[in-house]
Amino acid sequence: MYIRRILVLLAILSLFSTCRPLKRPVNVNFAHLYNSEINVVQPEYSILHHHTDSTKLTIYINPDELLYVRDATEDFFTSRFQLSWYLFESFDSRILADSARIRFTDTLTIDPKPFLERTVNFATPPGTRYTLFTEFEDLNRRSRHQDALTPDKLHPYTSQFFLFAENKNSVFSTPFFLSLQKNFEITYAKALDFELSAHVFPVHDNIPVPPFVITDNQIDQVPEMVADTSFVLNFRNGKSSVITSHKGLYHFHEKGNSEHGFVAYAFHPGFPDVSGSVDMLRSLRYITSSDEYQQLFTYNDPMLATERFWNRSAGNPDRARELKNRYFNRVNNANILFTSFVPGWQTDRGMIYIIFGPPHSVFKTENTETWRYTEGINIPSATFTFNRIDNKYSYNHFALERDQAYRSTWNHAVSIWRR
């Protein structure tokens, strides 16, 4: 009897030791996603729905961000890292649809690749927009990076069913930032024959007003957009092509159903980088008076106009260079992080990110983000809440909850750029 009890106890302990605690994206601080200086390791992910009931997740890791340790028995250095993932049917769900943990190794070579690439597959029945909570860990350094991805299978024409390629060495998944006047091959996940309608919309020119201004003139509702041009994409055996002959937002969708589609961006040469473009000038609207802003456009060269502006504002060339680089780095990052149906710097999140910098904490729900800034030498204390705006073009568009109480906080933050 005694031995039997011991065996039962050991079995129970064994069961509990093999059960991993459920990890969910709620109550996780995602500030590191908006600040590359927080985490040493920063994996990137791409999602491709390569089968009706499954999805391929590809992880890209910069080997310079991993710690390689000399093997005790061999004369080489090895990194050890692992990916844990938890699939939910929504961000706020407590019900786990699937999960796994996979360990990888890599051996340091004389001529390492710029990125390590690993893939995993997981089951995703169609008809749902899932949340995939990932935890990447460098086991040698004992550091980790968490993310919340959105495998979108609401319909068979989301962006994650497609790949774009400018040439055989340049194949990429969503988001689709396209160069102008280029020919791109488009590959669908399945070798089918079908047609997609395509519409090209001009770039929306509205710039958000400060967060203390409460007005209807905001992109908190999707504006009425009229296409500059329309055409049809013919897919044969899962392949088609498009020439980006027009600047703007490219919307591809199922014929007769504009709700089932995806977008690609051909906003200006070099996007998401704004260097040399008119967006260099337009993005300065957040810290300029009306007269200063109009004066910027009297120059023929955007680079010259911005140089003059920063030299006048900063007072000396060294500080001007520092402020200019910091400001436009944030503009470029905003384009990468927050682009929706408008460039990221033109969104509410982009505006706050540019002026205040990366938030100190970011907490998410299914349809909200709450950013908090703790008071520092050059940062006032503030909390901003953004709400997702439902639209057929982008799942990445959020509107700020505006409040007149932000006036002093905003004016203080802007004044720091002008000292």
What global pTM score does this model have? 0.91
Please give the average per-residue pLDDT across 382-387, as a whole number: 97
Q: What is the pLDDT of residues 80-91, one digit of tens each?
A: 999 999 999 999
Q: Would the pLDDT of 12 be above 70?
A: no
What's the pLDDT at 216?
66
Say if strands 116-123 and 77-88 run parallel, antiparallel, or are unpaired. Answer: unpaired
Q: Would the pLDDT of 77 be above 80?
A: yes
Nearest Cα to Cα of residue 339 among 414, 252, 265: 265
Buried b / exposed e over 123-153, threshold 16 CB at 10 Å, is ebeeeebbbbbbbbbbbebebbbbbbbebbb
CA distance 264 to 177: 6
Q: Would the pLDDT of 119 be above 50?
A: yes
Q: Would the pLDDT of 223 be above 80?
A: no
Say if strands 229-235 and 194-201 run parallel, antiparallel, or are unpaired. Answer: antiparallel
Q: Which domains does the chain have, with CATH numbers?
A: 31-149 (2.60.40.10), 161-266 (2.60.40), 278-417 (no CATH)
pLDDT band at 219 (very low <50, low <70, confident <90, very high): low
CA distance 15 to 9: 10
What's the pLDDT at 169?
83
Say if strands 131-138 and 54-61 run parallel, antiparallel, or are unpaired. Answer: unpaired
- Burial class from Cβ neighbours inside 10 Å (0-12, 13-18, 19+) for residue 263 reads buried
R_g of the chain, CA atoms, integer Å:
24
What's the pLDDT at 379?
73
pLDDT band at 215 (very low <50, low <70, confident <90, very high): confident
CA distance 32 to 38: 5
Percent of the chain with pLDDT over 90: 81
What's the pLDDT at 7?
36
CA distance 156 to 257: 12
Nearest Cα to Cα of residue 241 among 341, 148, 163: 163
Percent of the chain with pLDDT over 70: 93
- Residue of higher predicted confidence among 221 and 243: 243
CA distance 148 to 374: 24
User: How far apart, in Å, are the Cα atoms of 88 and each of 25, 131, 174, 229?
Assistant: 10, 5, 21, 39
CA distance 126 to 394: 19
Please give the average per-residue pLDDT across 276-303, as a whole number: 95
Q: Would the pLDDT of 391 be above 80?
A: yes
**In whole numbers, what is the pLDDT of the chain averaged over residues?**
91
353: tokens are 């990110």
Please give the average per-residue pLDDT across 130-147, as a whole number: 97
What's the pLDDT at 2?
42
Q: Would the pLDDT of 39 be above 90?
A: no
